[in-house]
Amino acid sequence: MITAITPTGGRSLAFALCQNWVRNQTVQPDQWIVVDDGIAPLQGFMPMDYIRREPQPGEPKPTLLINLKLAIPAITGDKIIILEDDEYYAPTYIEELSRRLDSHEVVGVGRSKYYHLPSGGYTVIGNMTHASLAQTSFRSSFLPKFASLLVGNAYLDMRLWKLAGNRKHLFVDSGAPLYLGIKGLPGRGGIGAGHNPRIYRAKDTADRGILKQWIPGDCQIYLDILNGKLTKDTYKEYFGW
């Protein structure tokens, strides 16, 4: 069984996109745990185990680790895949990671690709010793170790991949792109330098050629965000929910 986990909150448009990417997967998760701690509850249109966590005064920001801790007791699958709400996941993403988890305990996609949607800035990071959390998956045998890492700062990915040791398997989606880290979507800001448009040394063309190259099948959805056709107020009509 496959369990997907999405910690989220305060990103209604990003979460709508995430639901669309999950809906289009060639292999569906048997369980999708969504932990939502935004000021206003988000709406779910896909089958999911929705956990509403009310934000608490004085809690650390960001709340990623708190939300992941809350998800752990609800996990039923033996393959666990992290799906962050502001990432693009191609239709074969879960299928490919699930296949590789048959042979490896911790699996991730290296050489992360990031794209800042408002500015068109983009970059490819040469990481091949770890994957970002949004491109990380593991078997349930690794879950106790994963749970032990949910302390300290929110930069969980580095600690996770260091602990994985020889259990890890990193690969590059050099054929059909499996994902794209999308930054700059409306809503609550994310952690990490990728959300800052000033870090991107390369900039896409006016017609968004790089975006079209990286996600040829679904780039129009992001173009419709840029042209105002798809917003936090229109996504129900846009996706037909």
* Structure confidence by residue, pLDDT tens digits, 58-67: 888 899 999 9
Architecture of domain 2-239: Alpha-Beta Complex (3.90)
Residue 240 CB neighbour total at 10 angstroms: 6
Residue 196 CB neighbour total at 10 angstroms: 13
- pLDDT for the residue 195: 73
- pLDDT for the residue 144: 98
For the chain, the average pLDDT equals 95
pLDDT (average), residues 28-57: 96
Q: What is the pTM of this model?
A: 0.96
pLDDT (average), residues 121-145: 95
Q: Is the pLDDT of residue 196 over 90?
A: no
The residue that leads in pLDDT, 194 or 236, is 236
What pLDDT band is residue 198 in, cutting at 50, 70 and 90?
Answer: confident
- pLDDT for the residue 193: 65
Q: Determine phi and psi for 238, rounding to 5 degrees.
A: -60, -45
Q: Is the pLDDT of residue 192 over 80?
A: no
- pLDDT for the residue 225: 98
Q: What is the dihedral of CA 44, 61, 127, 78, to 10 degrees?
A: -50
Share of the chain above pLDDT 90, in %: 88
- pLDDT for the residue 26: 98
Q: What is the dihedral of CA 231, 22, 169, 125, to 10 degrees?
A: -10
